A and B are shown apart, each in its own frame.
Chain A
Amino acid sequence: MEHQGQIGGGGAPALSVRSTRPEVPAGAGSGVPAPRPPALRARAAAMLQRQGAVVALMVVCVFGFARYEAFATPENLLNVLRQNSMLGFVALGMTMVILTGGIDLSVGSVLAVAGIVAAKLSGQGTLVAIAGGLAAGALLGTLNGVLITRARIQPFIVTLAMMIAARGVALGVTGENSVRVDRAAAGFLWLGRGRIVGIPVPVVLAALAFVVGWIVLRYTRFGRYVYAAGDNQDAARLLGLKVDRVLIATYAISGLLAAMAGIVLAGRLGAGQPVAGTGWELDAIAAVVVGGTLLSGGQGGVGSTVVGVLLLGVIFNLFNLEGTITPWWQGVLRGVFLLGVVVIQSRLQKRATHGH
Chain B
Amino acid sequence: MAARPAPGGGTAGRWWSALGPTGGAVIALVALVAANSIFTPNFATAGNFWNVLFQLSVTLLVAVGMTLVIATGGIDLSVGSVMAISAAVAAVTLDRGLFVAIPLALVAGMAVGLLNGAFVSYFKVQAIVVTLATLLAGRGLAQVINRGGALLAIDDSGFLVLGRGHVGPVPVQVLIAAAVVALAIFVLRSTPFGRYVLAAGGNPAAARLAGVPVNRTVVTVYVMSGLLAGLAGLVEASRLGASAAARIGQGAELDAIAAVVVGGTLLSGGRATIMGTVIGALIMQVIATSFNMLLIPYAWALAFKALIILFAVYLQRPRRV
Q: Which residues of A are at the interface with B, using a C-beta cutoff of 8 A?
A: 103, 147, 151-154, 156-158, 160-165, 167-172, 175-176, 282, 285-286, 289, 295-296, 326-336, 338-339, 342-343, 346-347, 350
Contacts and interface: CB of A to CB of B under 8 A. Distances in A.
Given A151-B317, A152-B317, A338 B310 contact: no
Main secondary structure of the interface of A (DSSP, over half): helix
B139 A160 contact: no
B303 interface: yes
B6 interface: no
Contact of B129 (A147, A168, A172, A295): A295
A331 B133 contact: no
* Interface majority SS (helix, strand, loop, mixed), chain B: helix
Given A169-B303, A342-B129, A346-B125, 9 more contacts: A103-B128, A167-B302, A168-B306, A170-B299, A171-B298, A176-B299, A286-B133, A286-B136, A326-B144
A333 B140 CA distance: 8
A170 B257 CA distance: 22
Contacts of A330: 140
B257 A165 contact: no
B303 A168 contact: yes
B310 A158 contact: yes
Given A153-B313, A157-B313, A158-B310, A339 B130 contact: yes
6 contacts: A157-B310, A331-B143, A332-B141, A334-B136, A342-B126, A343-B123
Contacts of A326: 144, 148
Nearest to B144: A328
Nearest to B301: A168
B258 interface: yes
B212 interface: no
Contact of B133 (A151, A161, A167, A338): A338
B83 interface: no
B143 A328 contact: yes
B199 interface: no
A258 to B, nearest CB: 17
A147 B317 CA distance: 12
B134 A335 contact: yes
Nearest to A106: B306
B297 interface: yes
A329 B141 CA distance: 7
Nearest to B116: A339
A333 B303 CA distance: 35
A128 to B, nearest CB: 25
Contacts of A157: 261, 267, 309-310, 313
B119 interface: yes
A313 to B, nearest CB: 15
B239 interface: no
A68 B95 CA distance: 42
A175 B257 CA distance: 27
A162 B135 contact: no
Interface string B279-321: 0000000000000000001111111111101100110010010
B149 interface: yes
Contact of A165 (B141, B148, B303, B320): B303
B132 interface: yes
Contacts of B276: none
B298 A165 contact: no
Contacts of B139: 331
B137 interface: yes
A282 B254 CA distance: 13
Contacts of A153: 310, 313-314, 317
B138 interface: yes
A172 B313 contact: no
A162 to B, nearest CB: 7
Contacts of B303: 164-165, 168-169, 172
Interface string B251-270: 00010011001000001100
B123 A347 contact: yes
Contacts of B130: 339, 342
Contacts of B302: 164-165, 167-168, 171-172
Given A165-B303, A171-B299, A346-B123, A152 B137 contact: no
B254 A160 contact: yes
A159 to B, nearest CB: 10
B310 to A, nearest CB: 5
A158 B258 CA distance: 11
A335 B302 CA distance: 28
Given A157-B267, A162-B306, A295-B129, A335 B136 contact: yes
B144 A165 contact: no
Nearest to B261: A157
A338 B132 contact: yes
A335 B138 contact: yes
Given A335-B134, A336-B137, A342 B125 contact: yes
Nearest to B142: A328
Contacts of B304: 168
Interface in B7-44: none
A153 B317 CA distance: 7
B4 interface: no
B140 A329 contact: yes
A168 to B, nearest CB: 3
